[in-house]
Amino acid sequence: MRLLMVCLGNICRSPLAEGAVRAHLDRHGLDWVEVDSAGTGGWHAGEPPDRRSIAVAASFGVDIRAQRARKLVRADFTHFDWLLCADHSVLRDVRAAAPAEARERAVLLLDWAGQGTDAEIPDPYTGDAEDFRRVWTLVDAAAAGIVARIARAASGRIPG
Ligand code: 4NP
């Protein structure tokens, strides 16, 4: 299973989502699940995550400093099983760029993770540390939901 976390800049939300999901997968020994992240925009390509994302992740024991931002590319639509989007605007852009075959595999991260319907992860870029902490809370809950979903699928009770 291959999961791509997608936001706008790939420096705030999706690096936190990648870090949280990796941490939960590690904890459960789910080493066959691949996780990566990307942004619909390329303005920050090559940069490490925003220092506020690095700080909030570190405060919860997760090191995301080695991540580097990149823009979503066409190959992502074939490589990844699911493109898990931070909000409706990102989802719209990802679906618009997707080949028809992949469109249904672009979904809202929180929905896919069982954390509510139409739920968004608000963009914290122009916000403060508290906004970043809120993003962490959301992606950490999503990571737990993803592990539960994968565990259920692996046990054959629901399709992945
Ligand atoms: P992200 O936040 O999508 O969560 O990484 C943003 C980062 C950068 C910009 C916007 C949102 N920007 O406009 O540069």
Residue 19 lies in a domain: yes
- Please work out whether the CB of residue 67 comes within 6 Å of at least one atom of ligand 1: no
Q: In angstroms, rounded to a whole number, what is the distance separating the alpha carbons of residues 6 and 71? A: 9
Assign 116 to helix, strand or coil: coil
- Check residue 93 and give its pLDDT: 98
Ligand 1 mutation pick, 50, 123, 132, 135, max ligand atoms within 8 A of CB: 123
| All residues at 6 or more sequence positions from 78 whose CB lies less than 8 Å from its CB, including other chains | 102
Give strand pairing partners of 82: 3
- Please work out whether the CB of residue 115 comes within 6 Å of at least one atom of ligand 1: no
Residue 111 lies in a domain: yes
| All residues at 6 or more sequence positions from 96 whose CB lies less than 8 Å from its CB, including other chains | none
Model confidence pLDDT, tens digit, residues 20-78: 999 999 999 999 999 999 999 999 999 999 999 999 999 999 999 999 999 999 999 99
Number of domains in the chain: 1
Check: CB of residue 69 under 8 Å from CB of residue 49: yes
Residue 103 lies in a domain: yes
Q: pTM of this prediction? A: 0.96
- Check residue 153 and give its pLDDT: 87
Q: In angstroms, rounded to a whole number, what is the distance separating the alpha carbons of residues 106 and 70? A: 18
Residue 159 lies in a domain: no
Model confidence pLDDT, tens digit, residues 104-143: 999 999 999 999 998 999 999 999 999 999 999 999 999 9
Q: How confident is the model at residue 8 (pLDDT cuts 50, 70, 90)?
A: very high
Give the Å distance between the CA of 147 and the centre of ligand 1: 26
Quick one: residue 3, left, alpha or beta (phi over 0 = left, psi -120 to 50 = alpha)?
Answer: beta
- Please work out whether the CB of residue 125 comes within 6 Å of at least one atom of ligand 1: yes
Q: In angstroms, rounded to a whole number, what is the distance separating the alpha carbons of residues 87 and 51? A: 21
Q: How confident is the model at residue 156 (pLDDT cuts 50, 70, 90)?
A: confident
Q: Which stretches of the chain are assigned E, i.e. beta strand?
A: 2-7, 34-39, 82-85, 106-108
Torsion on CA atoms 77, 79, 80, 86, rounded to nearest 10 = -50
- Residues known to be catalytic: 7, 13, 123
Residue 160 lies in a domain: no
Residue 133 lies in a domain: yes
CATH of residue 124's domain is 3.40.50.2300
* Domain interval for residue 46: 2-154
